[in-house]
């Protein structure tokens, strides 16, 4: 139902007013050249892992995540994973996927994001219908908060069970990665080295559980905020540290006033860049 509503909404945007002269989004490659959706799919299907970076409240991101997943499922066996479900809720997710609990039961027992019903349930339900594994990859938020307050050493206080929900310690950490340095710039006076560490433990944990659930021959599609995979850093950096032989492709989302040409600042962010009209409505 949600997918149909979004599709109708996007169709309406495309055909009303100026028709095709005001597209809701345009696809670009890393160099800023326009590419077709078909070309993107043909390239992505040759990957081992896809990191699909989204704006959490952008309907274009969520719609294309569903469409890309659906189309790739026709040519490759898939495994799906997401930042939006934390590792200690995997059991509840498995119970839902197997039909042991209902959607209401999942909402009651798992810590779902506020926009889960509109933006992520369609992907989880696609996995359930098609019997595709779906992996919650993110560190429980309370442990990332521990790192933010006390650095990596704060994790030493966790039990063995709690440590099983995060990347093996100690993690590799490079605070000089450009995306981590950008976090400090964006946060200004609110930024701190421990804030970057909290970002890194999230990235390392997501990469760890992607690799732990990757199966040769399957295509693993991972949904995450764009900042976790832009410039092949974040999750991608940790994947490369552990298994550089895997072919990892990236998709990201950007917003511009004019989608007709990709701005220089958005070039190079990913292998494929979804450039969305900045006036696009948001899901929250």
- Confidence at 192, pLDDT banded by 50, 70, 90: confident
Alpha helices in 130-259 (DSSP H): 141-150, 160-163, 178-187, 193-213, 235-242
For residue 3, the model assigns a pLDDT of 53
pLDDT digits (tens, 9 = 90+) for 130-182: 999 999 999 999 999 999 999 999 999 999 999 999 999 999 999 999 999 99
What is the domain partition of the chain in residue ranges?
2-277
Q: Is the pLDDT of residue 17 over 60?
A: no
* Long-range CB contacts for residues 162-168, cutoff 8 Å, separation at least 24: 164/87, 165/86, 165/87, 165/88, 165/139, 165/140, 165/205, 166/87, 166/139, 166/140, 166/201, 166/204, 166/205, 166/208, 167/139, 167/201, 167/204, 167/205, 167/207, 167/208, 167/238, 168/208
- Considering the chain, what is the average pLDDT of its residues? 93
Write down the CATH number for the domain with range 2-277: 3.40.50.11550
For 139, which DSSP code? P
- For helices 90-97 and 121-129, the axis angle rounded to 10 degrees is 50
Measured CA to CA, the distance from residue 142 to residue 133 in angstroms comes to 25
Measured CA to CA, the distance from residue 131 to residue 98 in angstroms comes to 9
pLDDT digits (tens, 9 = 90+) for 223-268: 999 999 999 999 999 999 999 999 999 999 999 999 999 999 999 9
pLDDT digits (tens, 9 = 90+) for 193-219: 899 999 999 999 999 999 999 999 999
Using DSSP's 3-state secondary structure scheme, residue 82 falls into strand
Query: Residues 265-276: what's their mean pLDDT?
Result: 98
Using DSSP's 3-state secondary structure scheme, residue 18 falls into coil
Query: 137: which 2 tokens?
Result: 């990859």
The residue ranking higher by pLDDT, 120 or 185, is 120
Q: pTM of the full predicted structure?
A: 0.91
Element (H, E) at 68: helix 59-73
Measured CA to CA, the distance from residue 182 to residue 191 in angstroms comes to 10
């Amino acid at each position: 139902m949600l997918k149909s509503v979004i599709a109708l909404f996007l169709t309406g945007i495309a055909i009303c007013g100026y028709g095709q002269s005001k597209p809701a989004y345009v696809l670009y490659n890393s160099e800023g050249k326009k590419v077709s959706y078909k070309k993107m799919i043909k390239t992505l299907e040759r990957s081992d892992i896809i990191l699909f970076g989204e704006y959490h409240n952008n309907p274009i991101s969520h719609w294309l995540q569903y469409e890309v997943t659906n189309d790739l499922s026709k040519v490759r066996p898939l495994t799906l994973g997401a930042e939006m479900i934390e590792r200690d809720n995997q059991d509840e997710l498995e119970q839902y996927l197997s039909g042991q609990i209902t959607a209401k039961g999942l909402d009651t027992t798992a810590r779902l994001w506020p926009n889960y019903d509109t933006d992520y349930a369609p992907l989880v339900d696609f996995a359930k219908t098609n019997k595709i594994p779906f992996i919650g990859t993110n560190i429980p938020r309370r442990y990332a908060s521990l790192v933010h307050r006390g650095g990596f050493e704060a994790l030493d206080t966790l039990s063995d069970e709690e440590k099983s929900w995060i990347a093996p310690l100690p993690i590799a950490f490079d605070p000089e990665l450009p995306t981590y340095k950008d976090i400090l710039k964006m946060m200004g006076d609110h930024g701190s080295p421990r804030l970057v560490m909290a970002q890194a433990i999230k990235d390392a944990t997501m990469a760890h559980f992607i690799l732990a659930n990757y199966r040769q021959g399957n295509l693993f599609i991972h949904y995450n905020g764009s900042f976790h995979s832009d410039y092949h850093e974040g999750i991608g950096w940790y994947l490369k540290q552990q298994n550089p032989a895997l072919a990892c492709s990236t998709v990201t989302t950007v917003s511009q006033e004019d989608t007709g040409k990709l701005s220089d600042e958005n070039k190079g962010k990913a292998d494929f860049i979804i450039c969305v009209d900045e006036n696009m409505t948001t899901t929250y």
